[in-house]
Amino acid sequence: MADTQATPGASKTSNRGFASMDPQRQREIASQGGRAAHEKGTAHEFSSEEARAAGRKGGQARSENSRAGRAQASAGSGSPSASSSMDSGNMSSER
């Protein structure tokens, strides 16, 4: 009878695909794609205005999340009814 047990430490996932590659190889492939997109003219390059707006949006989201976390922590029990009453307008951040 053949031994059908997996070797210790072996994962049950496939060794195929981008995610299973080592990080250095992933960077090489992604870099090639980025270079090709720039050569082709289809790559997006942020203007300083776009970059500023994106940074502002990220900073606002971070601030709101931090503020919501502090409010929830000070509520004590963390029960769903307590948190839903505090966050009545923004249901998407919970899901």
Rounded to an integer, the average pLDDT of 52-59 is 92
Domain segments of the chain as ranges: 46-73
By the 8 A CB rule, do 26 and 18 touch? yes
Q: Is residue 9's pLDDT more than 50?
A: yes
pLDDT grade for 11, boundaries at 50, 70 and 90: low
Distance CA 62, CA 49 (A): 20
Which tokens belong to 81?
């009814």
- Kindly report, residue by residue over 21-33, the tens digit of the pLDDT: 999 999 999 999 9
* Single-letter residue type at 30: A
| pLDDT score of 2 more than 60 | no
Does the predicted model carry a pTM greater than 0.85?
no
Using one digit for the tens of pLDDT, what is the confidence trace for 74-84?
776 555 554 44
Predicted pLDDT at 80: 55
Alpha-carbon dihedral angle through residues 18, 24, 29, 35, given to the nearest 10 degrees: 150
18 Cβ partners below 8 Å, 6+ apart? 26, 29
Distances (CA, A) of 74 to 12, 17, 41, 67, 90: 42, 45, 51, 11, 19
**More confident call, 34 vs 15:** 34
- What would the two tokens of residue 11 be? 């994962």
